[in-house]
Amino acid sequence: MSQTPLHVIGTAGHVDHGKTLLIEALTGINADRLPEEKRRGLTIDLGFAHFYTPDGRPVGVIDVPGHERFIRNMVAGAWSLDLALLTVAVDDGWMQQSSDHTRVLSLMGVPRLIAVITKADLASAERIAQVTGQVERECSLRGYAGAPAIAVSARTGQGMDRLKELILEQLASGAGGGSAESAASAGAGGGSAESAAPSAPGAPQSALLYVDRAFTVKGSGVVVTGSLRSGSLTRGEELLLLPRNRRVRIRGLQSYYRECERVEATSRVAINLSGVSTGQISRGDLLCGQGHPFRVVKEFIARISVAREGEKGPSLKRDTEVEIAVGTGHQIVRLNRFGGGELARIRAGRALPLHWNQPIVLIQHGGSTILGGGRVLWSGKTDKRQRLLLAQIPLPDEPGAEQYVRLKLALEGALAPQEAAHIELSEELGHSTVELGGWIASKEYLDQLEKRIRELAAVPGGVRIDELATKMRGEAEALVRLVASRLAEGGVLSLRGGILFPADAGEPQVSPMGRQLLRDLEAGGFRGLEPGKLKIAGVKRELRNLVRIGMAVAIEGDIYYDRKIYLEMVRRCLTGLEVGGTLTIGQAKERTQLSRKYVIPLLNRMESDGFVKRSGDERVVTAKPQ
């Protein structure tokens, strides 16, 4: 396909204001695909069509329902648009659904809008001018100041050539209504193409497609359709299906009825998938590529805006059930407002994938009224302390990299390398952060990590470095290891045999019971020690401590050995064998004079330590003890 920009546009507007007929006049395609739609003359679900630019590039067109009962389908069609055609019939003028649809477009971040005054053949020039002025005022109030307006008749063709020219001009220039709600709401964020980007600021763009249809084609299997909003898709490529976290593969690709090897954003596409059945994928699911920015969560924080004074609809209560629309999906959630009402904690019954600054729309539960909308501020659970922090962090009208970094540092303490690589810190943030192995962490957070690691290392017997992340739940394992290594390299801690101790701790401390157990382990020889038979309080804890500091070895069946004796058993088993040789169970029994009860666990431990590798009933020697 061409490397020049591709686009998807869509209609919006009140029922019976000529959306479907307008698309047919633009594209030659009737987008009403359902028999019920054709019978009733009413668009119920999303319809799709396209036309070609003079240089042969396709422009996808989505037809959305205008009736208020189908507002959720309208929202599903709006999420991916580069440009919206807001239709207002000249005989009716501006209507309630005109307001609702324009608000949805702004809340979903649609960057450009053209107001199309339809049915121009039915009205005088004076009436057309009157409605045009009304539409321009109403669009300006809803974030689309300066959006162009044009009167057309899809039946006679009046104005249609100029409308197509205007569409191409808008798509080529990037001009138009622009920031939809950004300044006026001081809540939902922006509606610019950049602010709707599906990632942290500056990060590379992953393939991103919300499914709007899923069905089975005989002989091919599962096919899904949607708008590819960013990145690209290639036949044979592996994708991730969220929120199911399932890997699927692209068997075939179509875009605008053409077979493709590769498709670029923004395009309407049909994807033949392997690795999933129709019962495992549905509208609202997300297909994305490697390095995607999404978190699959049931709880998140959003910065919200509510219906404005004088607009139809009930107010948004501080604690209530509402319906949220995200991408092409929607579900009922619990919403709790805080931070002066500008922020909301939202808890969902079904997990959903979300990214930073993603737009959402709030719909009345059980109704069709648009209550407001917002932008995702934080994905995942938060406690009271974190929500207090969120309420205190300044929120600019159009959030960018600076705010993203501040939120990440305040709530998590650090940015992972894949995010940090694309962030340029301000001088102020640079002074308060530290770069460590590609991570960017606040100095305060690193101090807390270091303190906790020092405390764990000070426990009798120290702490194994590979146990740190488990003991420090909620902290990133890679960063914890980096901090621990830095403490060891700096001489604050001592690392011996994979165990961290205080630098001045000397040799590992062993309790009187531990010293007695070491004598018992030595006396046990090749039969070891089974603590369950001793019936002594605290013996298992002491044995685990001996294992942790490297003086004892545990094998399956709750059997413990002195480390020197364990290594002697390994040497006996491997006597006369070189790396690549094979060891049988019978040989191990003969060389250690042990029964199968001991030999099988011993061989399993040898495998986990890298001395042998299982091959059927035999073990292949992979290393010899030093």
Least confident of 163-172, 372-381, 455-464: 455-464
Average pLDDT, integer, range 590-615: 92
* pLDDT for position 38: 38
Q: What is the mean pLDDT of the chain?
A: 84
Give pLDDT, residue 469: 77
Beta pairing, strands 113-118 & 149-151: parallel
Is the pLDDT assigned to residue 45 strictly greater than 60?
no
pLDDT on residue 312: 52
DSSP-assigned states of every residue in 536-570: -TTHHHHHHHHHHTTSEEEETTTEEEEHHHHHHHH
CA distance readout (Å), 33 to 174, 213, 259? 31, 13, 21
What's residue 190's pLDDT?
A: 35
The CA distances from residue 50 to 58, 62, 210, 214, 620, in Å, are: 7, 8, 19, 20, 62
Which helix (H) or strand (E) segment holds residue 613: the answer is strand 612-615
Residue in the block written with tokens 């705010």:
403
Reported as a pLDDT band with limits 50, 70 and 90, residue 506 is low
Answer for the pair 413, 405: CB distance below 8 angstroms, yes or no. Answer: no
Eight-state DSSP code of residue 73: H
Residue 362's pLDDT is what? Answer: 93
Cα 222 to Cα 214: distance, rounded to the nearest angstrom: 7
Query: Which fold is adopted by the domain 208-288?
Result: Elongation Factor Tu (Ef-tu); domain 3 (2.40.30)
> Does the pLDDT at position 28 exceed 70?
yes
Tell me the sheet residues that pair with 296.
Answer: 353
From residue 67, alpha-carbon distances to 41, 42, 73, 368, 464 in Å are 12, 8, 10, 10, 63
Least confident of 190-199, 246-255, 482-491: 190-199
Q: Which of 65-69, 476-480, 508-512 shows the lowest per-residue confidence on average (mean pLDDT)? A: 65-69
Indicate whether 435 pLDDT > 70.
yes
Tell me, what's the pLDDT at 424?
A: 81
Q: What are phi and psi of 423, to 5 degrees?
A: -115, 130
Per DSSP bridges, beta strands 221-230 and 267-274 are: antiparallel
Please state, in angstroms and rounded to a whole number, the distance separating the CA atoms of residues 284 and 416.
28
pLDDT confidence of residue 622: 92
375 and 360 in contact (C-beta within 8 Å)?
yes
CB 620 within 8 A of CB 612: yes
Find the mean pLDDT for residues 6-34: 81
CB count in 10 Å sphere of residue 419:
22
CATH topology of domain 7-180: Rossmann fold (3.40.50)
Cis peptide before 266 (omega within 30 of 0): yes
Q: For residue 297, give Cα distances in angstroms to 81, 301, 345, 347, 349.
A: 25, 11, 12, 9, 10
Q: Are 84 and 112 in contact (CB under 8 A)?
A: yes
Of the candidates 341, 229, 242, the residue with the CA atom closest to the CA atom of residue 284: 242
Judged against a pLDDT cut of 60, whether residue 179 lies above it is answered with no
Q: To which residue do tokens 């059980």 refer?
A: 366
For 512-621, CATH number? Answer: 1.10.10.10
Give the separation between CA 377 and CA 367, rounded to whole angstroms: 26
Residues with Cβ within 8 Å of residue 414, at least 6 apart in sequence: 408, 439, 440, 441, 442, 445, 476, 479
Residue among 192, 189, 256 at smallest CA distance from 228: 256
| pLDDT, tens only, 319-369 | 999 999 999 999 999 999 998 889 999 999 999 999 888 999 999 888 888
Weakest mean pLDDT among 43-47, 154-158, 454-458: 43-47
**DSSP secondary structure letters along 274-304:** ES--GGG--TT-EEE-TT---EEEEEEEEEE
Contact of 202 with 404, CB cutoff 8 Å:
no
**Alpha helices, DSSP H, located in 108-261:** 125-141, 160-173, 182-185
pLDDT at residue 609, as a whole number: 86
Other beta carbons within 10 angstroms of residue 236's beta carbon come to 10
Q: Are strands 83-89 and 113-118 parallel, antiparallel or unpaired?
A: parallel
| Cα–Cα dist 619/626, whole Å | 19
| Residue 32 confidence (pLDDT) | 52
Query: Do 238 and 188 touch, CB atoms closer than 8 A?
Result: no
Note whether 208-288 and 295-408 share their fold. Answer: yes
Q: Which residue has the higher pLDDT, 593 or 47?
A: 593
Burial pattern 508-518, b for ≥16 Cβ within 10 A else e, equals bebeebbeebb
- Domain range 295-408, CATH architecture: Beta Barrel (2.40)
pLDDT recorded at residue 427: 86
pLDDT reported for residue 505: 65
Buried b (16+ CB within 10 A) or exposed e, 135-152: bbebbebbbbeebbbbbb
Contact 370, 363 (CB under 8 A): yes
The reported pLDDT for the residue numbered 41 is 39
Please state, in angstroms and rounded to a whole number, the distance separating the CA atoms of residues 569 and 550.
Answer: 17
Whose tokens are 């996808």? That residue is 60
- Nearest of 351, 282, 364 to residue 323 by alpha carbon: 364
30 contacts 145 by C-beta, under 8 angstroms: no
pLDDT score recorded for residue 507: 61
Q: What are the structural domain ranges in the chain?
A: 7-180, 208-288, 295-408, 512-621
User: Is the pLDDT higher at 536 or at 126?
Assistant: 126
Of 63-67, 125-129, 145-149, 183-187, which gets the smallest average pLDDT?
A: 183-187
Q: Which residue has the higher pLDDT, 470 or 597?
A: 597
Output the pLDDT for position 20: 85
Q: How many CA atoms lie within 13 A of 351 on its CB side?
A: 13
Q: Are 230 and 265 in contact (CB under 8 A)?
A: yes
Is 90 exceeded by the pLDDT of residue 76?
Answer: no
The residue count for the chain = 626
Range scoring the smallest mean pLDDT among 299-313, 373-387, 434-448: 299-313
- Please check the confidence at residue 67 and state whether its pLDDT lies above 50: no
More confident residue, 437 or 505: 437
Dist. CA 390–CA 387, nearest whole Å: 5
* pLDDT interval class at 204 (50, 70, 90): low
Beta bridge partners of 268: 227
Angle separating helix axes 563-573 and 596-608, nearest 10 degrees: 100
Is the model's pLDDT at 225 over the cut of 70? yes
Cα–Cα–Cα angle for 108, 109, 111, nearest 5°? 140
For the segment 453-470, the average pLDDT, to the nearest whole number, is: 82
Q: What residues are paired with 253 via a beta bridge?
A: 260, 271
User: Residue type for 78, please?
Assistant: A
Residue 95: count other Cβ atoms within 10 Å of its Cβ. Answer: 17
